[in-house]
Amino acid sequence: MKKLILALLFFVPTLVMSSAFAIPLCEGGNRAARKVTCLVDGDTGWQNGVKWRAKGWDTPEYAGHAECAREPAIAARATARLQQLMSGGYSIIWHGEKGGMNRDLVSIKLRNGRMAGDVLLAERLAVRWPHPPRVWCGN
């Protein structure tokens, strides 16, 4: 019975609540050891030193990973919008799954009850994942 309870605790999505404050953009290395909370971009961040990736949606990439010249500007808008949304207070729902680059998959629930991914999708700053290549390039 004890093993069953432990297994259920491991697989049931868990919440991490955060009070309202501006989420900084990530800087510097050694983020796990420093236990930082910050945003890398519009769909990736760190919460108390654990790197996460949004589940089910994707935002554009910055230069170096962008597929076209216009993508980094949209990436900056998506990142700034997620930062703004989370600054009002949020909960992270940890799904107990790993995504690409071994990141923990999460959903972000905003204090007002909306899901951050739904807001970004509605504002056309995110697309459903997976998606075809060059989705931000307009061709």
Q: What string of DSSP letters covers 23-91?
A: PPBP-SS-HHHHT--EEEETTEEEETTEEEEESSEE-PPPTTT-SSTTHHHHHHHHHHHHHHHHTT-EE
pLDDT score of 124: 96
| pLDDT tens, per residue, the chain with 139 residues | 444 333 333 444 555 555 567 899 999 999 999 999 999 999 999 999 999 999 999 999 998 899 999 999 999 999 999 999 999 999 999 999 999 899 999 999 999 999 999 999 999 999 999 998 999 998 6
Longest dimension (CA), the chain: 56
Structural domain spans, the chain = 32-128
pTM of the model as a whole: 0.84
What residues does 104 pair with on adjacent strands?
Answer: 52, 98
The CATH class of the 32-128 domain is mainly beta
Residue type, 4: L
pLDDT score of 121: 97
The total number of residues shown for the chain amounts to: 139
